[in-house]
Amino acid sequence: MPELPEVETVIRGLRPRLEGVRLSRVVQRRADLRLPLPENFAARLEGRRVTRLARRAKYILIHLDDRQVLLCHLGMSGRMTVSGAEAGAEREPPGPHDHVILTTERGDEIRFNDARRFGVMDLVDAERLEQHRLLAGLGPEPLGNEFSGPELARRLAGKRSPIKAALLDQRVVAGLGNIYVSESLFFAGISPRRAARSVQGDRAERLAAAIRDVLTRAIQAGGSSLRDYVQASGELGYFQHEWAVYGREGQACPGCTCGLKGPGGIRRIVQSNRATFYCGTRQR
């Protein structure tokens, strides 16, 4: 599933093509994705001008000039890609998984493609956005000013679950997923097995800083491309080439001799049905 860096990368690719631009035509090619599409979905979008694009956790928020917000979630396999209106350019005809197609007044085409149909598109009143069932109760944005070591420690206090599971809880921190939690715990030197409630003080400060750093670097690299994810331009992300531990079972981790002697190396365990990768030497 695309995580925060992938969603942020898609938004940054869509922004110059959509912000300030009117949607001249909307084609809805099925009635539902994971959830039913809103009634009169295409008609409510056609003619609307996009005022700005934003992100909340893993959700794309396309604000419109009628105070409605087009809320999008990419699900497991969703893509939002742009086909430009350059002179002489030929577009491929819509494929079987191109479920919603937005055409702008400039002639750009944005396709929402979702082979597994786990994605979501909804129209929400801007005033009620934070109360939407998919957004209500989300924790702080890890790249926002409200996120800090003390705030993270406060949200982890009293939690008996392993820190890995706690960080995947969107009520603790919004937008984190399996890959970036494993990477952040590695750089913070914290074992994924450690009880969440014990991550206080300096540990919480290290972890908050690591989360910010990992996410920032991932966005700069265009996210991580696994299976279906591509940027809005159709290009792959490259952060998978910078992973320190994720997917590297049995290898030595960066800056450590853990895999050079004995049965060491990066370990893989399963927590809450999700693969976790970590260094048993560096992470305590």
Q: Which amino acid is at 142?
A: P
What is the pLDDT at residue 118?
94
Inter-axis angle of helices 178-188 and 201-220, nearest 10: 130
Whether residue 136 lies inside any domain: the answer is: no
Comparing 154-158, 197-201, 227-231, 274-278, the range with the smallest average pLDDT is: 227-231
Phi, psi of 181 (to 5 degrees): -70, -45
CATH code where residue 172 lies: 1.10.8.50
Same domain, 49 and 100: yes
Region 208-228: what's the mean pLDDT?
Answer: 82
Region 237-251: what's the mean pLDDT?
Answer: 80
What is the pLDDT at residue 237?
56
- The catalytically annotated residue of 2, 5, 162, 192 is 2
Region 3-18: what's the mean pLDDT?
Answer: 91
CA distance 161 to 152: 15
Q: How confident is the model at residue 89 (pLDDT cuts 50, 70, 90)?
A: low
- Which has the closest alpha carbon to 135: 85, 200, 69? 69
Domain that holds residue 196: 149-278
Whether residue 265 lies inside any domain: the answer is: yes
Same domain, 122 and 172: no
- The tokens 């949200």 sit on which residue? 155
- The catalytically annotated residue of 3, 6, 8, 183 is 3
Which two structure tokens, joined as six digits, stand for 14?
């869509």
* Known catalytic membership, residue 2: yes
Q: What is the mean pLDDT of the chain?
A: 90
What is the DSSP-derived secondary structure letter of residue 41? H
Question: Does 142 have pLDDT greater than 80?
Answer: yes
CA distance 125 to 127: 5
- The catalytically annotated residue of 55, 58, 111, 203 is 58
* Known catalytic membership, residue 140: no
> What pTM value is reported for the model?
0.91
Region 51-75: what's the mean pLDDT?
Answer: 97
* Known catalytic membership, residue 58: yes
Same domain, 210 and 180: yes
Q: How confident is the model at residue 228 (pLDDT cuts 50, 70, 90)?
A: very low
Residues of the chain above pLDDT 90, percent = 74
Domain termination residue (choose one: 72, 105, 131): 131
CATH code where residue 100 lies: 3.20.190.10
Whether residue 137 lies inside any domain: the answer is: no
